[in-house]
Every structure is written in C-alpha cells, then in structure tokens.
C-alpha cells in the first residue's frame, strides 16, 4: 500500500505517537488524507470507530488498522510501545484482511452505519418501544432503551448490558435491553436476542421525547413519533491483519489477564 492517512485522538500522548509514526511512514509512503489505501487510527477503540465513520463513504478503497495509545484496546492490534513493529509490518506489506460487519440504521430521514452498536436510550422517563422483526410484532419494551450491537461491538456497551460476547467475524446482530421493566403488565423477552442478516429490527414509538439515538460515538436527538429500522449492512469495514492475534487470546488479554 502506498497512500496512508492517520486519524488521531486529541490527547498529547496520541499526537506524539502519531508524529513518530508519520515520520517513519513518510520515508516510503505518501500521506493522502482524501484518498488513503490504509487508515491508521492512533488512540483507542473509540478512535477506530471514529476512523471508520470518517471514511464510511470509501469503504471499498480503504483498509483500517489501529494502534492504542492508552490501555489495551479491543479493536486495535498494536500498543504504543510497538509502533516500530507497526511501521515494520506496513513496510513489509504482507498482510491478510478481514471484514467487520456494520449495522445499517434508518430513521425517517437519515441512514447511518454503526460498527459497534446503535442505542435507543431515554434517561428521563421510561421509553415504550414497539419491537417488530421482519414486519411482525414481537414485543412491547418498557425501560431505558434497547441496544443493537454487531459482533465487533459485543464487547463494548452490549457486554455491560449482560449481552453475549460474539466472535468478531460472525455476521450477527444482538438486541439487548437497557434496564427493561418486567412484571405481569409489561412483558419483554429480557434476554439478549441474536439475529442474522435475514432480519430487520423495527423499533417504533408514539413518543421519542427525551430519547437519543447513539450510533457508535455519534449521538442524535430523536423527537416526536417515529421509528428506526436496523439490519446488518451490505457494506463491511476491511481491516488489515499483519499479525495474527487469535480472538480467544484477545479476549483473555483484555478481560482475564491481570
Ligand atoms: P468511551 O467512553 O471511551 O468508551 C467506553 C469504553 O468502551 C472504552 O474503554 C472503550 O475503549 C471501550 N470500547 C469501545 N469499543 C469497544 C469494543 N468494540 N470492544 C471493547 N471495548 C470497546 O467512548 P468512545 O471511545 O467514544 O467509544 C464509544 C463506545 O463506547 C460506544 O460504541 C459504546 O459501545 C461504548 N460505551 C460503553 C458504555 C458502557 O459499557 N457502559 C457506555 C458508553 C459507551 P477505548 O478507551 O480504547 O476507547
Ligand atoms: Mn474511548
């Protein structure tokens, strides 16, 4: 790959790391912010999310890789003290790629993509949501909200909601409840529901006052009545893999090692 760009978190540590990486890469690659082949995110998992959103209209042309400037990341393959390994691996130019699934999120007037998840949340009052799957009524949810995550996002917000961790390569989406109210008048499934690309989740409400739609790092206010449709997107985000880190190893490193 010849053309690269960086997307950097705004703290000093990340900026310094970015400069060191650029200095090395500029000796054999060209910095091209508009049309990069490789996008290197320098920061955290949130920076990887941001970089995918920045190049969301160029997913066919762009591959992603992340280096973490802080603690261990889940979407990043390198740590800050491994930046010369990253430079070396990029120079060698021998790599595999793998795809991460995205969600397509449609409101009445916009379409968004999500790498981690979409959250429909209301902290002001209990949110009532009609949940339809492939056009059929499924349940009425009452509570703080619902989260639909990808396999990549299963270790993020979804995990805090008690959702399952799903191997990042799987083309699945997971519907999890955010503080659901359960008693004999209000019944919703309660457990996370895992669906595939054949499903469309439709969430509707007569009142979205106070609700937000969170899409990865983006937050949109929802007002009035309306609905949101969520499904697995046709487009995927392509990530470069220079070194193989088995998924189970990644999980152990992030959550179980001291
Ligand atoms: P943030 O507050 O930095 O994110 C919260 C934590 O989630 C950070 O430790 C972040 O890692 C980590 N994270 C993000 N994506 C992950 C993934 N796919 N697997 C494992 N960990 C992941 O906010 P942010 O950086 O803007 O990231 C936005 C994401 O944060 C949202 O998509 C949501 O999933 C997550 N989030 C989680 C909670 C929660 O668990 N209660 C609350 C709000 C948001 P870095 O520090 O490396 O960025
Ligand atoms: Mn973050």
Q: What is the CATH number of the domain that holds 250?
A: 3.40.50.10330
CA 131 to centroid of ligand 2, rounded, Å: 30
Give the Å distances, CA to CA, from 171 to 14, 97, 151, 221: 32, 16, 7, 28
45 catalytic, yes or no? yes
Beta bridge partners of 211: 122, 222
Residues 86, 178 share a domain: no
Residues 217, 145 share a domain: yes
Residues 157, 44 share a domain: no
Q: Which CATH number covers residue 120? A: 2.60.200.30
How many domains, the chain?
2
Residues 143, 83 share a domain: no
Q: How many CA atoms lie within 13 A of 189 on its CB side?
A: 18
Residues 109, 218 share a domain: yes
Q: Is the pLDDT of residue 258 over 80?
A: no
Residues 108, 70 share a domain: no
Ligand 1 site, residue 18, Cβ cutoff 6 A: no
Show the CA angle centred on residue 61, arms to residues 51 and 95, nearest 5°.
85
Of the residues 11, 26, 34, 45, only one is catalytic, namely 45
The radius of gyration of the chain's CA atoms, rounded to the nearest angstrom, is 20
Q: What is the pLDDT of residue 54?
A: 98
pLDDT tens digits along 131-141: 999 999 999 99
Q: What is the pLDDT of residue 244?
A: 87
User: Atom 4 of ligand 1 has which residue's CA nearest to it?
Assistant: 46
Q: What is the pLDDT of residue 228?
A: 97
Mutation to probe ligand 1, out of 13, 14, 46 (largest number of atoms < 8 A from CB): 46
Residues 27, 51 share a domain: yes
Residues 91, 207 share a domain: no
Q: What is the C-alpha separation between 88 and 55, in angstroms, rounded?
A: 24
Residues 116, 85 share a domain: no
pLDDT tens digits along 121-130: 999 999 999 9
Q: What is the pLDDT of residue 225?
A: 72
Ligand nearest to the CA of 74: 1
Q: What is the pLDDT of residue 113?
A: 98
Residues 128, 87 share a domain: no
pTM: 0.96
Q: Is the pLDDT of residue 195 over 90?
A: yes
Domain hosting residue 146, numbered range: 102-235
């Amino acid at each position: 790959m010849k053309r690269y760009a960086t997307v950097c978190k705004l703290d000093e540590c990340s900026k310094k790391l970015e400069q060191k990486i650029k200095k090395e890469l500029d000796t054999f690659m060209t910095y091209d912010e508009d049309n990069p082949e490789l996008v290197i995110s320098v920061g955290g998992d949130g920076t990887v999310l941001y970089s995918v959103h920045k190049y969301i209209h160029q997913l066919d042309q762009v591959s992603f890789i992340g280096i973490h400037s802080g603690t261990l990341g889940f979407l990043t393959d390198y740590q800050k003290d491994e930046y010369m390994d990253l430079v070396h691996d990029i120079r060698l130019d021998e790599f595999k790629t793998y795809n991460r699934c995205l969600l397509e999120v449609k409101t009445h007037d916009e379409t968004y993509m999500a790498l981690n998840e979409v959250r429909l949340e209301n902290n002001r009052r209990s949110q009532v949501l009609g949940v339809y799957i492939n056009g059929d009524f499924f349940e009425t949810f009452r509570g703080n909200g619902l989260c639909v995550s990808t396999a990549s996002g299963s270790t993020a917000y979804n995990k805090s909601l008690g959702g399952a961790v799903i191997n990042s390569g799987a083309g699945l989406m997971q519907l999890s409840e955010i503080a659901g109210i359960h008693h004999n008048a209000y019944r919703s499934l309660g457990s996370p529901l895992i669906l595939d690309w054949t499903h469309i989740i439709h969430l509707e409400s007569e009142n979205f006052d106070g609700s937000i739609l969170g899409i990865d790092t983006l937050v949109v206010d929802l007002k009035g009545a309306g609905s949101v449709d969520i499904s697995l997107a046709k487009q995927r985000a392509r990530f470069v893999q220079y070194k193989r880190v088995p998924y189970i190893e990644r999980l152990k490193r992030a959550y179980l090692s001291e």
